[in-house]
A and B are shown apart, each in its own frame.
Chain A
Amino acid sequence: MTDLTELGVAQIRDGVAGGDFTAVELAEAFNANVAAAQEALNAFIIATPEKAVEAAAATDAKRARGEALGKMGGVPIGMKDLFATFDVQTTAASHMLEGFKPQYESTVSQKLWDAGAGMLGKLNLDQFAMGSSNETSYFGNVISPWKRSDGGNAALAPGGSSGGSSAALAARLCPAATGTDTGGSIRQPAAFTGTTGIKPTYGRCSRWGVVAFASSLDQAGPMARSVQDCAIMLEAMAGFDAKDSTSLDLPVPNWEAALSGDMKGKKVGIPKEYRVDGLDDDVAKSWDDGIAWLKDAGAEIVEISLPHTKYALPTYYIIAPAEASSNLARYDGVRYGLRDLPDGANLQDMYAATRAAGFGPEVKRRILIGTYVLSAGFYDAYYTQAQKVRALIAQDFAQAFEQCDVILAPTAPSAAFGLGENVDDPLKMYLNDVFAVPASLAGLPAMSVPAGLNREGLPLGLQVIGKAFDEQGVLNAGLALEQRAQFAAKPEKWW
């Protein structure tokens, strides 16, 4: 009998509906993998095996009654611990929110449960989603299941901030997981682990109940092991929500049904500014492979220019910390979360002590940068200028999309790096998102699909960026790449 934990979303949905296996036996198989890997990989902050079985039993009961099972019927998923889940600890991987049990459910997670999904647990991440290696979590690093093929045993980063999601997918601890992407936090971890993830157009998925980092950038999306699985899960997650003022009031397309890897008549833009000096040879080669694959799928390749690309990262590192400093002002030790009340402290002392104890170093660094760039006398020089450059970056994309339908680029400038390799230099860490951040600043849908392995045997991802609202174009180009990359590598089990 096949190993049920090798199955993806579509196979599970169809297998449960067709009676090939029950949702409960499948959930139990994943629960066992989650438990067995926890010590070595630390992908989950908490496991909720009972929730997975409960949802699966409900799906099996529905099937017995002949009822429809939903888009995600019988599919157990990992939930990034940035989504508020009713009465289940929601931490954003911070000490500040340790023990916090929301009295409400985020819109996205509720939609997934309504579609028949069940929860295997809450996935580890970078603290408040700030990081690119999952090394800022209060609950410890997530370890990638991948190892370099050099015989060494170096622990590698699963990417971040959705590092628990990516590691769990690659290790077959879940068939799909939620992610959130502020400046690459779905795409870069997907690329590092040979998995697939899409950040939809800003506003497609409700932000209600998602712990806020940078509200003009934060966007939820699915992570899975195939383009089709991402399409299915995105349909379940997306949709208008009156409780999010930036939610898009648009119908959710049937992305899965319209999937097609045929790129005839489509133009694929190759941004010349992304071919930076010193681009890693293997990354450059995988990009060339991607170009050849899309040509083979019938697409026409055109060179495009995104002239403000080099300013995207510095723009991001003004806007994201500015919004974070404002959003994270809510953690005051009064209403929820940690309180640190030193002897004899007044209210102001309590705020300062609570925030000193509750936030990790990277979170504090970003709050301080954000506070500085928003402070009197500096606001125009930093924040207003960044918002103007952001407008230019969005305009670059708008002009490029007059010449092409989608854009193809690498997802990240390198394969996964070792834990600890970049922690001493925040700027070096930030550079990891150099190819991911521009699409975030422009609010565009963008996806990463595995392209192959580098010389060290580690996965590399290719990124497809699309026009606003054109998730279908992105998914279709992603499918064309997936069909030709034939990526079947998976980490050798050592955990």
Chain B
Amino acid sequence: MSVDTATVAKIASLARIKVSEAEIEAMVPELNGILAWVEQLGEVDTSQVEPMTAVIPNTLRLRDDVIDADPLTGGDKRDAVLANAPAAEHGFFGVPKVIE
């Protein structure tokens, strides 16, 4: 499988990265080079193999159902959460107007 300019434009749009036509032109051969190389995995017979889900066997834990069990990740952290926001307004994240 290989990508063309339309496909790269579509991927970039899915990834929410603005790219110019010149950038797309440059990326097509680069991405095709990488994709052609990774496609050698197709030659491995994996019909009897389950895909890996955890590299080291582990069980998912549930935390205790306690409010603010870890004060660092509990509630009442509005100002800390907003401290690095590019546009915090009135205790909220500010974004451009969204009206359909």
**A binding-site residues for B, Cβ under 8 Å:** 100-104, 201-203, 216-217, 242-243, 245-246, 248-249, 308, 311, 314-315, 317-318, 325, 329, 332-339, 341, 345-353, 355-356, 359, 364-365, 367-369, 371-373, 375, 378, 381-382, 384-392, 394, 426-427, 441-443, 468
Contact = CB atoms under 8 A, between A and B. Distances in A.
A345 B60 contact: no
Nearest to B87: A339
A419 to B, nearest CB: 20
A336 B16 contact: no
B72 interface: yes
Nearest to A201: B56
Across the A-B interface, the 3 shortest Cβ-Cβ residue pairs: A387-B51, A443-B55, A339-B86
Contacts of B39: 314
Interface in B1-60: 1, 3, 7-8, 11-19, 27, 30-31, 33-35, 37-42, 44, 46, 49-56, 58, 60
B98 interface: yes
A375 B85 CA distance: 30
B interface secondary structure, majority? loop
B61 interface: yes
B41 A315 contact: yes
Given A201-B56, A388-B51, 9 more contacts: A339-B86, A346-B97, A350-B96, A368-B11, A368-B27, A371-B14, A389-B41, A389-B46, A391-B51
Given A352-B17, A368-B31, A337 B84 contact: yes
A352 B20 CA distance: 12
Nearest to B46: A388
B88 to A, nearest CB: 9
25 contacts: A100-B84, A102-B84, A104-B72, A242-B70, A245-B60, A311-B41, A315-B38, A318-B41, A325-B15, A332-B16, A337-B84, A341-B96, A352-B16, A356-B18, A365-B27, A372-B3, A375-B11, A375-B14, A381-B1, A385-B42, A385-B44, A387-B52, A390-B52, A427-B37, A443-B55
Nearest to A367: B15
Given A355-B17, A372-B31, A388-B50, A103 B80 contact: yes
Nearest to A216: B55
Nearest to A368: B11
Interface residues of B, number: 55
A327 to B, nearest CB: 12
Contacts of A243: 70, 73
A202 B85 CA distance: 32
Nearest to B88: A335
A248 B70 CA distance: 19
Contacts of A100: 84
B95 interface: yes
A346 B40 CA distance: 42
A330 to B, nearest CB: 11
Contacts of B93: 334-335
Nearest to A100: B84
A334 B85 contact: yes
B49 A427 contact: no
Contact of B12 (A104, A311, A368, A382): A368
Contacts, number: 172
A355 B41 contact: no
B67 interface: no
Contacts of B46: 385, 388-389, 392
B63 interface: yes
A335 B94 CA distance: 9
A99 to B, nearest CB: 8
B66 interface: no
A346 B72 contact: no
A100 B8 CA distance: 31
Listed residue (A245, A372, A378) with the most chain B CB atoms within 10 angstroms of its CB: A372
Contacts of A341: 96
B17 A101 contact: no
Listed residue (B49, B70, B97, B98) with the most chain A CB atoms within 10 angstroms of its CB: B49
B90 to A, nearest CB: 15
A176 to B, nearest CB: 26
Listed residue (B16, B35, B39, B80) with the most chain A CB atoms within 10 angstroms of its CB: B16
A318 B38 contact: yes
Nearest to A316: B38
A460 B16 CA distance: 41
Contacts of A338: 86
Contacts of B61: 242, 245, 249
A373 B11 CA distance: 10
Nearest to A308: B44
A341 B94 CA distance: 12
Given A314-B38, A345-B96, A388 B31 contact: no
Contacts of A442: 55
Contact of B85 (A335, A345, A386, A389): A335
A378 B42 CA distance: 13
Contacts of A351: 16
A103 B52 CA distance: 35
Listed residue (A245, A318, A389) with the most chain B CB atoms within 10 angstroms of its CB: A389
B27 A382 contact: no
Contact of B95 (A308, A347, A353): A347
B7 to A, nearest CB: 8
